[in-house]
Structure 1
Amino acid sequence: MDLSCGENLQNSGNSSNGRSVDMCVAGPDRALDRDPRLLHNLLTLERAHALHTDYFEHVQIDIQPFMRKIVTTWMLEVCEEQQCEEQVFPLAVSYMDRFLAQRAISRQQLQLLGVTAMLLASKFRQCHPLSVDLLCAYTDNSVLPDEVRQWEVMLLQRLNWQLSIATAFDFVEPFLARVPWGRTNPLVRTHALTLISVCYTETEFLLVPPSLIAVACITAAARGLRVRMSVGELCALTRAPAAAAELVARHVERVLARATQPPEPRARPAPPAKAPATDTTQLQVTPTDVQDIHF
């Protein structure tokens, strides 16, 4: 059997921002992506680790949905700045959601959980994991390295040491490899992965299966690029209802429009109206500040 390697070994281990960046990334394996066992195993993993209840209503007391939005957006910015592998961010968010579905924590511990989840995801998905000290520096040292190491063990125990979780990123390549328009439009993959990252920061997609998120984001990306496609082709791969995929795809488009909408300019405050001159014989109004009293 003839084996070939298409990786650029010269770029492996380059230094960027004071750390080693592994640029030796393998390309898509078409034989693997078309293997029917791949989708079957991904769907099995998806069902095994699916969230069935909204933990904001049944588990968490001190944490609100907007707090998760803030922390996950910060996690995405850290992963992008550190040039992490594509799978690190969605996997870290999945770890965090699975933990929050089991144990209630305080709002002061939410960023600590996000740091720990990124540490585990980077260890699992890339050759050069993020260091504990680097992640703590991103928190302005509000999180201590010893706390991260303690929470790393606790997070592993809560996850039952099951770190192989199917994310929406995992479904993109197999889906695009099985539709005729998937390989001819490389921008569809890039835009779909961007939309998936946005979805993982939104609590509205918390209970949506990763495969359905992938179908919806691919659909929204193809529509934005004016690529002729059919939602039914993607739904046939997962046996998901086409109506559900269309509903999620439209919601993804609304979220994208909301995220890209420029902020409204703040209106300038109107100048205070001048008080009319009062007659000197009229009694003065009782002052409300003690500094206005003249003894």
Structure 2
Amino acid sequence: MDLSCEENMQVSAGSTGRDMCVAGPDRALDRDPRLLGNLLALERFHALHTDYFQHVQIDIQPFMRKVVTTWMLEVCEEQQCEEQVFPLAVSYMDRFLAQRAISRQQLQLLAATAMLLASKFRQCHPLSVDLLCAYTDNSVQPHEVRQWEMLLLQRLNWQLSIATAFDFIEPFLARVPWGRANPLVRTHALTLTSVCYTETEFLLVPPSLIAVACITAAARGLRVRGSVSELCALTHTSAAAAELVARHVERVLARETQPQDPRPRPAPLVKQPTDTTQLPNTPTDVQDVHF
């Protein structure tokens, strides 16, 4: 049995001195036969069954979710959060929105609170409340985030362990013979998964199916010989359904990577602060993102 530690204990370049050590994949865990069963059970338990834009939310529109999730992704990337923080935060936000209607002015507050909870749950050094408020141009106040943290926990029934598509990537790649043929398959699959979590079209798609589709699309783009049927056999899903989602992932990627004409920024979702003399830099809007 290999008990060696492969973690890099060096502080990452450009960091502020805090430990940015991230553990690598645990191959023994990824190949454990109980892992997929537990993940699929979690997926079924926390599944979204209805489109909350049609049945719950009145003031919030799908494009607003796109803007705020893109902002969440950029914050997580800039703060070098662990890979699981972003999809978990989006999952928390979606499950809250499926239960309670809020105004568009509260959407970024909910997103910041979800990132706070996800970072506490998934990484050693959580994002601070003050930092998250700074990323909102101080339109969200620290006391609001702390109040909404308890509200979000209550709505989630304190069940923070939610299976995301990121959780399925490593187990899937460890169980197919071509999964380790090219290390870029994992990297590209995770990137595609992040894009899917910003798109409303994938709101009701199970995380395991998103993972299968993103791995398939990544392998296809890298010319890695792989079979979608092998991945579908792991989750007992239809190969036709997986291929349909994979094609949609490819269309979304093509849409996001095509050149875009400069356009005026949309009106902000939150109120603007009155003092603009010392505003921190914030992530760009979704309209300005070029993959």
Aligned residues: 263
Q: Tell whether 2:218 aligns with 1:221.
A: yes
What's 1:9 paired with? Answer: 9
TM superposition shift of 1:2: 6.3
Amino acid at match of 1:25: V
Q: Is 1:32 aligned to 2:29, yes or no?
A: yes
Of 198, 201, 204, which residue of structure 1 is paired with 2:195?
A: 198
TM-score calculated relative to the size of structure 2: 0.88
Aligned pairs for 1:41-52 within 5 A: 41-52=38-49
Q: How far is the alpha carbon of 1:28 from its aligned partner?
A: 1.0
Residues 181, 224 of structure 2: 8 Å contact kept = no
Cα pair distance change 1:226/1:112, threshold 3 Å: same
Q: Distance in 1 between matches of 2:216 and 2:142?
A: 42
Which stretch of structure 1 is more off in the superposition, 37-46 or 22-31?
A: 22-31
Please state if 1:76 is matched with 2:90: no
Matches within 5 A, 1:109-128: 109-128=106-125
Q: Which of the pair has the greater relative contact order for Cα pairs under 8 Å at 6+ separation?
A: 2
Q: CA RMSD in A?
A: 1.5
1:91 equivalent in alignment to 2:85: no
Take 2:102 and 2:93, find their aligned partners in 1: how far apart are those partners?
12
For structure 2, the residue ranges without an aligned partner over 5 or more in a row are 264-291
> Residue type matched to 1:263 in 2?
Q
Post-superposition shift, 1:3? 2.7
Question: Which residue is 2:246 aligned to?
Answer: 249
From 231, 249, 252, the equivalent of 1:234 is 231
Structure 2: how far apart are the matches of 1:64 and 1:236? 36
Q: CA deviation at 1:263?
A: 1.1
TM-score of the superposed pair, with normalisation by structure 1 = 0.86
1:103-129 deviation line (CA, Å, top 9, x unaligned) = 000000000000000000000000000
Which residue of 1 is the match for residue 266 of structure 2? none
Shift of 1:24: 1.7
1:245 & 1:152 partners in 2: Cα distance?
Answer: 36
Determine helix, strand or coil for the equivalent of 1:11: coil
Identity %: 89
CA deviation string 1:41-83 (max 9, x = no partner): 0000000000000000000000000000000000000000000
- State which structure, 1 or 2, has the greater radius of gyration over its C-alpha atoms: 1
Q: What residue number does 2:131 align with?
A: 134
How far apart, CA to CA, are the structure 2 residues paired with 1:67 and 1:265?
Answer: 19
Deviates more, 1:252-261 or 1:2-11: 2-11
Instruction: Give the whole-Å Cα distance in 2 for the aligned partners of 1:244 and 1:43.
Output: 17
Partner of 2:180: 183
Unaligned runs of 5+ in 1: 267-295
Range that drifts further, 24-33 or 225-234: 24-33
Question: How far apart are the structure 2 equivalents of 1:265 and 1:119?
Answer: 33
How far 1:245 moved relative to its partner?
Answer: 0.2
Residues 39, 163 of structure 2: 8 Å contact kept: yes
Q: Give SS of 2:36's match.
A: helix
Q: Deviations over 1:189-248 (max 9, x none)?
A: 000000000000000000000000000000000000011111000000000100000000
Report how far residue 265 of structure 1 moved. 7.0
